[in-house]
Amino acid sequence: WFLCGCSGKHKGTRDYSPKQMAIRERVFTAIINCFKRHGAEVIDTPVFELKETLTGKYGEDSKLIYDLKDQGGELLSLRYDLTVPFARYLAMNKITNIKRYHIAKVYRRDNPAMTRGRYREFYQCDFDIAGQFDPMIPDAECLKIVHEILSDLQLGDFLIKVNDRRILDGMFAVCGVPDSKFRTICSSVDKLDKVPWEEVKNEMVGEKGLSPEAADRIGEYVQLHGGLDLIEQLLQDPKLSQNKLAKEGLGDMKLLFEYLTLFGITGKISFDLSLARGLDYYTGVIYEAVLLQQQNDHVEDPVSVGSVAGGGRYDGLVGMFDPKGRKVPCVGVSIGIERIFSILEQRVEASEEKIRTTETQVLVASAQKKLLEERLKLISELWDAGIKAEILYKKNPKLLNQLQYCEETGIPLVAIVGEQELKDGVVKLRDVATREEVNIRRENLIEEIRMRTSQL
């Protein structure tokens, strides 16, 4: 039996080649450095959770959860995000206070759109702060983190939209949406970044039974976006200012913007009443970062190419896993790096930049036949000294083939052993780029390689 060459992989997943992994490592390094700069610890959780752990956390998206087959024992599902496992972890271990990051794959039975960086298996990079703290300080730090990471990765211009579930709920209330319809109307609003208002309104009125007047009132609010000025304006809004939830949310939003001003990042932050986010568990501030245009686009107006980070406050989730319902307030952000990978991969392809996929410093080569034993002895010395070294796995490789291997893989140095060099107690060290060769005494070779490759 055998597989057809075209279908060895589940659609919507992908292997990472060495070249893709090299790009991926760059992105991970930038993100992890940022998380560590902000003092985060790191945790890890299993890839599957008990099925019941995931039930009722994701609203309409629950149908996208992958279940494991019942092979006896507990029913299991693959994790859908890293937030619910984090909340489960806090409750199980009675942790009331932690700042952690977690980078791992999550699973969604979605329709893959691989060209746009959407897969069924994909990485999330999450940073969360759990604990009872003074308002909006951790929330502001999460936004600072998004700002730092997106600046660091040089992905071009970006915008971080901010809103608050309490402002949304208050807005729904003053527009005349019945309490029971808050969630479903909220998920209609969530579509505004993809479809025009008219379509969203039709869904609200036609499918969800909202009155056209209520929908029109919502329509006016969700056009609004701005900064501190808009917050002040809405705090004076005759209807919204009468709603307790909206007032609380607007007060916190004002505080958030004051902190963001101290961080010097309000230039890329927009308070946007159309931002809703689909997940059920958010209770306060929510945010989403979008890239405004790609490097190689030549568009006049900056256009959003999609979300690359999102998050918010979820003060009720941990309590759902605690036998006594004890709450642990949390706020966090998730960096969606698949789209970032796609952009950087495209950029590398376009630039024809050559990416090294190994870190090898030196190839141990021979000039004549019958020197395998000498090559093995030398490379063993180099490995034991911590030098990154390779040989070709041939008894008698041609020197030309050995040099070509260095050109192809970017190895900067060749240590050549030959009959004469062995007699003289030296090794010929060749610089691949300049083709210069110089004899180095065997006892000085390690030092010389270290010196030459530390300059690179």
Comparison of 218 and 337: residue with beta carbon closer to its own copies: 337
- 404 backbone φψ class: left, alpha, beta (φ>0; ψ -120 to 50): alpha
Q: Is residue 150 a contact partner of residue 289, using CB atoms and an 8 Å limit?
A: yes
Among 127, 158, 257, 259, binds its own copies (CB under 8 A): 259
What mask, x for binding its own copies by CB under 8 A, covers residues 209 to 248?
A: ----------------------------------------
Q: Is 108 annotated as a binding residue?
A: yes
Q: Is 445 in the site for its own copies (CB under 8 A)?
A: no
29 annotated among ligand-binding-site residues = no
Minimum distance from residue 13 beta carbon to its own copies (Å): 4
450 is in an annotated binding site: no
Q: Which is nearer to its own copies, 353 or 373 (CB)?
A: 373
Residue 194 or 395 having the CB closest to its own copies:
395
Q: Residue 93 or 223: which CB sits closer to its own copies?
A: 93
Residues of this chain, 31-90, that bind its own copies according to CB under 8 A: 36-50, 52-53, 56, 66-71, 73-74, 76, 78, 88-89
196 binds its own copies (CB under 8 A): no
Q: Quick one: tokens of 8?
A: 């060895």
Report the 10 Å Cβ neighbour count for 335: 28
Could you give the dihedral angle defined by the CA atoms of residues 277, 278, 283 and 287, in that order, rounded to the nearest 10 degrees? -20
Report d(CA 295, CA 282) in Å as an integer.
Answer: 33
The burial of 8, by beta-carbon neighbours within 10 Å (0-12 exposed, 13-18 middle, 19 or more buried), is given as exposed
404: CB partners within 8 A, 6+ apart: none
> Is 277 annotated among the ligand-binding residues?
yes
**Residue 81 marked ligand-binding:** yes
DSSP alpha helix (H) spans, 222-277: 228-235, 244-263
Piece of the chain touching its own copies by CB under 8 A; list 20-28, 179-187, 228-236, 426-434: 20-28
Nearest CB to its own copies, comparing residues 204 and 333: 333
Residue 53 labelled as part of a binding site = no
Which CB, 89 or 282, lies closer to its own copies? 89
Q: For residue 254, give both structure tokens.
A: 């004002």
Considering beta carbons, is residue 274 or 402 the nearer one to its own copies? Answer: 402
Q: Is 226 strand, coil or helix?
A: strand
Q: Are strands 158-164 and 285-291 parallel, antiparallel or unpaired?
A: antiparallel
Residue 148 interacts with its own copies (CB under 8 A)? yes
Provide DSSP, 356-387. Answer: PS----EEEEESSSS-HHHHHHHHHHHHHTT-
DSSP string, 371-434: -HHHHHHHHHHHHHTT--EE--S-SS--HHHHHHHHHHHT--EEEEE-HHHHHHTEEEEEETTT
Residues 90-109 contacting its own copies, CB under 8 A = 91-93, 98, 100, 105, 107, 109
User: Buried (b) or exposed (e) across 385-399, using 16+ Cβ within 10 A?
Assistant: eebebbbbeeeebee
Q: Which is nearer to its own copies, 212 or 325 (CB)?
A: 325
Rounded to an integer, what distance in angstroms lies between the CA atom of residue 416 and that of residue 430? 8
When the beta carbons of 372 and 399 are compared against its own copies, the nearer one is 372
Number of residues counted as binding its own copies (CB under 8 A): 96
Asked whether the beta carbons of 276 and 190 are under 8 A apart, the reply is yes
Under the binding rule (CB under 8 A), the answer on residue 453 touching its own copies is no
**Which of 300, 301, 353, 359: binder of its own copies (CB under 8 A)?**
359
CB-CB contact of 252 with 286 (8 Å):
no
Touching its own copies, residues 315-354 (CB under 8 A): 320-323, 325
Show contacts with its own copies in window 288-317 (CB under 8 A): none
Residues 323, 42, 59, 251, CA torsion sign: positive
Q: Which of residues 364-423 bind its own copies (CB under 8 A)?
A: 372-373, 376-377, 380, 383-384, 386-391, 393-395
Q: Which of 8, 196, 206, 238 binds its own copies (CB under 8 A)?
A: 8
Residue 154 near its own copies by CB under 8 A: no
Question: What is the nearest approach in angstroms of its own copies to the Cβ of residue 25?
Answer: 8
Site string for its own copies, 263-292 (x = CB under 8 A): xx----------------------------
Which value, in Å, is the radius of gyration of the alpha carbons in the chain?
28
**Which stretch, 198-206, 217-225, 261-269, 435-443, contacts its own copies (CB under 8 A)?**
261-269
Tokens for 152?
């660091």
35: its two tokens: 């998380």
Residue 80 known to bind ligand:
no
Q: Which of 133, 223, 229, 407 binds its own copies (CB under 8 A)?
A: 133
**Run of H or E including 118:** none
Q: Which is nearer to its own copies, 174 or 269 (CB)?
A: 269
| Binding of its own copies by 121 (CB under 8 A) | yes
Q: Which residues define the annotated binding site for L-histidine? A: 81-83, 108, 124, 128, 277, 281-282
